C-alpha cells in the first residue's frame, strides 16, 4: 500500500486548487459554450497549464502532463460525448427540460 506523504498531499492540494480556479473561477460561460472551437479549448488548456505550473512551483513536466490530461478529457467531453446539434425539424414546442428555449427535441423513442 502506498503511504501518503506530506509532499504528495501538498501536490494534490495544489493541483486541486489549480483545477478549481481554472474550471470554475476563470472559465466564463462563453468559454464553456464555445469550447468546441479549438482556439477556445486551447485557451482553457493554457489557463489550466499556467495555473498548474504556478501552483506546483514551476514543475513544468507535471504541469504539462496535467494540461495534456485536461485537453484529452475536455476533448472527449465536447466532441465524443456531446449531444448532436439541435435540429428544429425534430422538435416540438413544450416544456424546456433541455434548456432549448421552450422546445423539446424528440428522440426515436418519442416518435
Residue 2, pLDDT score:
80
91 strand-pairing partners: 105
Residues 21 and 42: their CA atoms lie apart, in Å, by 17
C-beta separation of 35 from 44 below 8 A: yes
Mean pLDDT across the chain = 81
C-alpha cell at 110: 418519442
Question: Which grid coordinates are listed for 14?
Answer: 495544489
How far, in Å, CA of 64 to CA of 68, rounded? 6
Residue 69 binned pLDDT confidence (cut-offs 50, 70, 90)? very high
Going by pLDDT thresholds of 50, 70 and 90, the confidence category of residue 1 is confident
Whether residue 28 is predicted with pLDDT greater than 70 in this model: the reply is yes
Reply yes or no on whether the pLDDT at 98 is more than 90: no
Q: Label residue 80 by pLDDT band (50, 70, 90).
A: confident
User: What are the two backbone dihedrals, phi and then psi, of residue 36, each rounded to the nearest 5 degrees?
Assistant: -70, -20
pLDDT tens-digit series, residues 54-64: 999 999 999 99
Chain centroid offset of residue 110 CA: 30
The 3-state secondary structure of 52-101 reads: HHHHCCCCHHHHHHHHHHHHHHHHHHHHHCCCCCCCHHHEEECCCCCCCC
User: Which pLDDT value is given to residue 103?
Assistant: 47
Amino acid at each position: 500500500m502506498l503511504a501518503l506523504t506530506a509532499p504528495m498531499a501538498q501536490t494534490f492540494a495544489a493541483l486541486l486548487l489549480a483545477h478549481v480556479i481554472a474550471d470554475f473561477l476563470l472559465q466564463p460561460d462563453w468559454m464553456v459554450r464555445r469550447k468546441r472551437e479549438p482556439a477556445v479549448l486551447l485557451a482553457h488548456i493554457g489557463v489550466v497549464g499556467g495555473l498548474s505550473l504556478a501552483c506546483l512551483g514551476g514543475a513544468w513536466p507535471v504541469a504539462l502532463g496535467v494540461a495534456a490530461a485536461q485537453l484529452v478529457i475536455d476533448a472527449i467531453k465536447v466532441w465524443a460525448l456531446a449531444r448532436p446539434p439541435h435540429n428544429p425539424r425534430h422538435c416540438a414546442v413544450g416544456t424546456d427540460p433541455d434548456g432549448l428555449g421552450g422546445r423539446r427535441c424528440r428522440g426515436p423513442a418519442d416518435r
